[in-house]
Structure 1
Amino acid sequence: MGWKREFKKMQKETKKASNFFDNSEDISSLIIWDRAMKPANHWNIDNLVIDISKFNDLIQEIIKNQNSPENMEKYSWNLGSISIVEKFYSYPMASYFKETYNSISNRLGSYEAALIVNSISKFSFYITKKFWKLFNYTFANKNINDTPLIRVFEVMQRTSLEALDGIIEKAFLLIDKRKLDPYKHHLLIEEIIDLGDDFTYHWARMFDQVIDLTVETFIFQSKYGKAKSTNNSTIQANFFSVDDDEEFDTFFEKTKTLVFNDEVNDAFNYFGISKMAKPDEFKKIYRKMAKQFHPDLNSDQNSAMEMKKINLFKEIVEKYYEKYEII
C-alpha cells in the first residue's frame, strides 16, 4: 500500500480547505455568483431573451478553444421534471433549451418560460466557466481521451443535469401556476433567476470529489498500472477502465455518497452540533442564527452571504435527518 502513503503525503502538501466557502484562487471550485439585482422594469420578456442570448454567447466564447473527448461534443437528455428530450451542444450542460422553453410555455406561458430558461442558462454559464477553468488547471498535461478524464465529463454531466431538473422543479413551485408580473412579483422573479446559486454548492462539491478521485487514479496508474480488480481502498481505479453503464451508476452513486457525507460534516460543524443532536435542538440554533444574520435585521454587508450559508446547511441537515428518519 505504498501508493496510499504517497497520495496522503501529496494531499498534505497541497491540501485545500475542506469547507467549500473557503476560496483558494485558481484551484477552488467555488462559484462566485452575481445576483440578479435590477429594477422591476428590466424584467420584461424582451430583456429576458436578450440575457439568455448573452449567456449563450459567453458559453460559446468559453468553449470555442476547448477540446472535448472524441464523440462527446453533443448529446440529448430526457428531463424528467418536464418530460421532454433536450439537446445539449457542449459538456457539462450547455444548451439553447428550445424544447424546455416550448414545454414550459405551453404549461405556464411565454413569460414564465423565458424566466426559467434565463435561470437555467445563467446556471449553465457559471458551471461551464468553472468546469473548464478547473479542468484545464488540473489536467492540462493529460490526454483528454484518457478514460479517467472521460469519466470526469460523464460525472459532471450527470450532476449538472440533476441540478437542471432541480432548478426547474423549484421554479415551478415558486411560480405556482400564477401569471407573473415584473412589478407585482419583482422579488420573486429575481429569486427564480438566481435559483442556480444554491445548486452550485452541491455541483462544486461533486466536482471536487471527482477531480480528487481522478488525480488519485493517475497516481495509482503511474506507479502500478491500471487496476484489474476491485479493492477496499479509497481509490476506485477500476471504475475508470470500464464502459458498463451499471458500473458507472455505481461509481456515480458512491461519489454522491462521499459528497453527501462531506456536506453533512460541514453543516453540523457550522451549527456547532454533533450528529447526535435532535432536530428540536437544531431548530433552536437555526432560528437563533437566522435571526442574527437575516439581512432585514442585520445591516452588515456580509449578512446576506452568511444567511445563504445558514439556509444551505439547514437543507443538508434536514436531508440527513430525513434520510435516517431521525425525529
Structure 2
Amino acid sequence: MAIVQTFLELTNFASPLKQTIIPCIITAYAIQIAVAIPSIIYQSDRFFDASGLFTFFIINLLSLYLPAIRTKYADNNLGNVADAVKEGAKAVAAGTPLAISYNWRQLALSGAVAIWSVRLGVYLLRRILREGHDHRFTEIRVNPKRYLRAFIGQATWVIFSMLPIMAVNAIPSGVRSVHYTKPTDFSGFALWTFGFILECVADYQKAKWQQEKRDKIHDEKFLTSGLWSVVQFPNYLGETMLWIGLCSAVFGVLICNDVREALTAPDSSPMSVISILFFCTIGPAFVTLLTLKVTGVPYAEKKYNRLYGDDKKYQKWKRETPKFLPIPPKQH
C-alpha cells in the first residue's frame, strides 16, 4: 500500500482531470514497456495486440475507480482497503470504492470499453496463438528500437482513445449535469452499438471463412462475401464508428458549464470549448489515421496486392467495392 499511497500523492494535482488522466498515462506506458522488454528479448509478437487491449481494460478500470479511491482513502488511509478485503465480501462492499455510487453514464461508457476490449482482445489472442506470429512485425521485431516504438505507439493509441472516457470518469460526484440524459447519449450509444456489431460480425465472417478454407470446404483466395462485399474493410469501419459513438456521448456532458468547472482546479478557469473538442476528437481521429494511413488498410492492401494483384476477380472486387465507407466508387 505504501507504493500506491506514494503514487497517489505524487499525482495529487489540484485539477480532478489531471488527478485521473496523468496516473492513467503513466500506467499505460508502464504496461506497454513491461510487455515490450521480454517481447524484444525473445523477438516475439504473440502478445502485442493482446497487451494493447489489456492496457485499455486496465486504464478503463483505473480511471473509473481512481477518483473514488482518492476520496474514500485520503489521509493515508489506504490500508483500510486491504483490511476490508481480508474481512470478506460484506466488508468490501461497505468499506471500499465498490460502495461508491457512480453515475450511470460513467458505468455505461466504461462498460462499453470493457466489452469491446475483452471481445477484441480474446479474438486477436486466439488468432495469434493459432497462426504463431504476426506478419506485420516480421521486419521490425528484430530491430529493438523500432519494436519498442511500436509498443510506445500502442500506449499512445490507448491514451488518445481513452481521453474522453477518462474525462467523464474524473467528474466529481454531485455535478448536476451528469444526471440528465442528453440527445448525444442516444445517438452516441446507438452509433457505438452499430459499430460494435459491425466489427463483431466482420471478424466472425472472416474467421469462419478462414476456418472453412483450412478445412478445404472452399478454395477461395480472398474473402469477398458477406460484409466484405459491401466494403473492403468492414471491421475497421466498425472500429471507427464505435469510438466516434463513445466520443459523441461524452461530448454532450463535457460541454456543460458545471462539468467544465468541476474538472479544473478551484482557482482556474473552466475547461475551454477547444479543450473539450480536443478530448472528443483526438481519439477517433487517431484511430482513423492509424487505420487508413498506417497499420490497417495500407498493410492489408500491400499484402493483398502482392498475393492477388494479378487476379482478375481481386481486381474487380477492389475496383467495384468501396474501401471504407459504403459509397460506390467513381467509375473511370
Choose between structure 1 and 2 for higher RCO, CA contacts under 8 A separated by at least 6 residues. 2
For normalisation by structure 1, the TM-score amounts to: 0.30
For normalisation by structure 2, the TM-score amounts to: 0.29
Q: Please identify which structure carries the higher helix content.
A: 2
